[in-house]
Amino acid sequence: MANNKPQFDSVPTPDWFLRIFEDFHDPFPLDCERVIEPPPGYKIFANPGYSRKEEAAERCIEWHKQGHFVVMLVPIETSTQFAKKLFQYGVERMYFDRRIFPNCRGVELLVLRGTAQREESER
């Protein structure tokens, strides 16, 4: 998978922010190349880094469909395949009034809901 922002794959999530999600499973830990599958019933906090965001979107959607509560910290994007896939599935988007990572562009918190697909099937 192409990595167009390698310097941002090694930036840790700030400790103050991680404390909010301390009881969540992290399937994409920093400096770990493999995905760590969540145990059944666990809530998931994913900050996959730039190079794994496409794979993370697919995996997080699957985990959500399996019943996991899934939150993703991702770059703010609206026109990429990555973003479209998540928007089409259905997410709530939360923004920050400042950059939470130094020297890094803005990020947003996505809460997967799956509402877009449910609304479409109800029509």
Q: In angstroms, what CA-CA distances link 104 with 63, 81, 89? A: 28, 21, 27
For 74-91, how does the pLDDT look when each residue is reduced to its tens digit (9 = 90+)? 888 877 888 899 999 999
Q: Find the CATH number of the domain harbouring 103.
A: 3.30.110
Q: How many independent structural domains does the chain possess?
A: 1
pTM for this model (two decimals): 0.83
**pLDDT above 90 as % of the chain:** 46
Q: Could you tell me if residue 64 is inside a domain?
A: yes
Query: Is 55 within the bounds of a domain?
Result: yes
Q: Kindly indicate the confidence band of residue 3, based on its pLDDT and cuts at 50, 70 and 90.
A: very low
Residue 57 belongs to domain spanning: 41-123
Q: pLDDT, tens digit, for every residue of 50-82?
A: 788 899 999 999 999 999 999 999 888 877 888
Per the CB < 8 A criterion, the answer to whether 33 and 67 are in contact is no
**CA 44 to the chain's CA centroid:** 9
